[in-house]
Amino acid sequence: AQSVTQPDIHITVSEGASLELRCNYSYGATPYLFWYVQSPGQGLQLLLKYFSGDTLVQGIKGFEAEFKRSQSSFNLRKPSVHWSDAAEYFCAVGDLYNQGGKLIFGQGTELSVKP
Protein backbone atom coordinates (compact mmCIF):
# COMPACT_ATOMS: atom_id res chain seq x y z
CA ALA A 1 0.00 0.00 0.00
CA GLN A 2 1.09 3.54 -0.60
CA SER A 3 2.48 5.40 2.37
CA VAL A 4 4.33 8.57 3.25
CA THR A 5 6.78 8.93 6.12
CA GLN A 6 8.04 12.15 7.57
CA PRO A 7 10.70 10.98 10.02
CA ASP A 8 10.96 14.24 11.95
CA ILE A 9 7.99 15.20 14.11
CA HIS A 10 9.49 18.49 15.23
CA ILE A 11 12.45 20.51 13.97
CA THR A 12 13.90 23.74 15.34
CA VAL A 13 16.18 25.95 13.26
CA SER A 14 17.62 29.39 13.77
CA GLU A 15 16.36 32.24 11.63
CA GLY A 16 18.60 32.58 8.59
CA ALA A 17 19.76 28.98 8.73
CA SER A 18 19.06 26.47 5.99
CA LEU A 19 16.25 23.95 6.27
CA GLU A 20 15.63 20.45 5.00
CA LEU A 21 12.47 18.51 5.82
CA ARG A 22 12.51 14.84 4.96
CA CYS A 23 9.83 12.87 3.18
CA ASN A 24 9.97 9.22 2.10
CA TYR A 25 7.25 7.51 0.16
CA SER A 26 6.27 3.98 -0.72
CA TYR A 27 4.56 3.73 -4.08
CA GLY A 28 4.57 1.22 -6.93
CA ALA A 29 4.24 3.58 -9.86
CA THR A 30 5.42 7.06 -10.76
CA PRO A 31 4.34 9.16 -7.81
CA TYR A 32 2.66 12.52 -7.78
CA LEU A 33 4.24 14.35 -4.85
CA PHE A 34 3.21 17.44 -2.94
CA TRP A 35 4.32 19.60 -0.06
CA TYR A 36 1.77 21.60 1.90
CA VAL A 37 2.17 24.07 4.76
CA GLN A 38 -0.33 24.72 7.57
CA SER A 39 -0.30 27.62 10.01
CA PRO A 40 -1.99 26.98 13.38
CA GLY A 41 -5.76 26.73 13.09
CA GLN A 42 -5.69 27.22 9.33
CA GLY A 43 -6.16 25.14 6.21
CA LEU A 44 -3.33 23.73 4.11
CA GLN A 45 -1.56 25.72 1.41
CA LEU A 46 0.22 24.06 -1.49
CA LEU A 47 3.94 24.86 -1.55
CA LEU A 48 4.99 22.82 -4.57
CA LYS A 49 4.30 19.65 -6.53
CA TYR A 50 6.14 17.11 -8.67
CA PHE A 51 4.61 15.06 -11.46
CA SER A 52 7.40 14.49 -13.97
CA GLY A 53 10.36 16.13 -15.64
CA ASP A 54 12.98 18.09 -13.76
CA THR A 55 13.51 16.46 -10.39
CA LEU A 56 14.21 19.77 -8.67
CA VAL A 57 11.01 21.74 -8.34
CA GLN A 58 10.58 25.29 -7.19
CA GLY A 59 7.67 26.42 -5.08
CA ILE A 60 6.30 29.45 -3.38
CA LYS A 61 7.92 31.32 -0.48
CA GLY A 62 11.43 30.33 -1.62
CA PHE A 63 10.98 26.59 -1.07
CA GLU A 64 12.26 23.86 -3.35
CA ALA A 65 12.12 20.06 -3.28
CA GLU A 66 14.10 17.35 -4.99
CA PHE A 67 12.63 14.06 -6.16
CA LYS A 68 15.06 11.15 -5.82
CA ARG A 69 13.56 7.97 -7.19
CA SER A 70 16.45 5.78 -6.03
CA GLN A 71 15.90 6.90 -2.44
CA SER A 72 12.09 7.20 -2.64
CA SER A 73 12.46 10.68 -1.22
CA PHE A 74 11.06 14.13 -1.84
CA ASN A 75 12.80 16.40 0.64
CA LEU A 76 11.82 20.03 1.07
CA ARG A 77 14.52 22.68 1.35
CA LYS A 78 14.92 26.37 1.93
CA PRO A 79 18.31 28.13 1.97
CA SER A 80 17.43 30.74 4.62
CA VAL A 81 14.53 30.34 7.01
CA HIS A 82 12.39 33.29 8.13
CA TRP A 83 10.46 33.48 11.38
CA SER A 84 7.23 33.41 9.36
CA ASP A 85 8.09 29.92 8.11
CA ALA A 86 7.21 28.47 11.51
CA ALA A 87 4.31 26.12 10.75
CA GLU A 88 3.51 22.47 10.15
CA TYR A 89 4.59 20.91 6.88
CA PHE A 90 2.94 17.92 5.21
CA CYS A 91 4.24 15.75 2.43
CA ALA A 92 1.68 13.87 0.33
CA VAL A 93 1.59 11.34 -2.50
CA GLY A 94 -1.26 11.00 -4.95
CA ASP A 95 -2.27 8.50 -7.56
CA LEU A 96 -3.87 10.14 -10.54
CA TYR A 97 -5.20 6.97 -12.11
CA ASN A 98 -5.94 4.35 -9.52
CA GLN A 99 -7.11 6.03 -6.36
CA GLY A 100 -9.69 8.55 -7.50
CA GLY A 101 -7.35 11.45 -7.01
CA LYS A 102 -6.86 10.74 -3.33
CA LEU A 103 -3.82 12.04 -1.53
CA ILE A 104 -2.02 10.16 1.22
CA PHE A 105 -0.45 12.49 3.76
CA GLY A 106 2.50 12.06 6.05
CA GLN A 107 2.17 12.75 9.76
CA GLY A 108 3.60 16.23 9.39
CA THR A 109 6.72 18.00 10.62
CA GLU A 110 6.35 20.96 12.94
CA LEU A 111 8.92 23.66 12.30
CA SER A 112 9.94 26.10 15.00
CA VAL A 113 12.22 29.05 14.20
CA LYS A 114 14.56 30.52 16.82
CA PRO A 115 15.34 34.23 16.60
Partner 1 sequence: DGGITQSPKYLFRKEGQNVTLSCEQNLNHDAMYWYRQDPGQGLRLIYYSQIVNDFQKGDIAEGYSVSREKKESFPLTVTSAQKNPTAFYLCASSRAPGQGVNEQYFGPGTRLTVT
d(C-alpha 101, C-alpha 96), whole Å: 5
Gyration radius (Cα) of the chain, Å: 14
Residues making contact with partner 1 (CB under 8 A) = 9, 32, 34, 36, 41-46, 49, 51, 90, 94, 96-97, 100-103, 105-108
- Specify the residue, 32 or 85, whose C-beta has the smaller distance to partner 1: 32
Rounded to a whole number of angstroms, the minimum distance from the CB of residue 47 to partner 1 is: 10
Residue type, 81: V
- Specify the residue, 14 or 58, whose C-beta has the smaller distance to partner 1: 58
Rounded to a whole number of angstroms, the minimum distance from the CB of residue 95 to partner 1 is: 8
Listed residue (106, 93, 94, 115) closest to 21, CA to CA: 106
- Specify the residue, 1 or 70, whose C-beta has the smaller distance to partner 1: 1
Q: Tell me how far the alpha carbon of residue 1 is from its chain's centroid.
A: 20
d(C-alpha 6, C-alpha 89), whole Å: 9
Rounded to a whole number of angstroms, the minimum distance from the CB of residue 108 to partner 1 is: 5
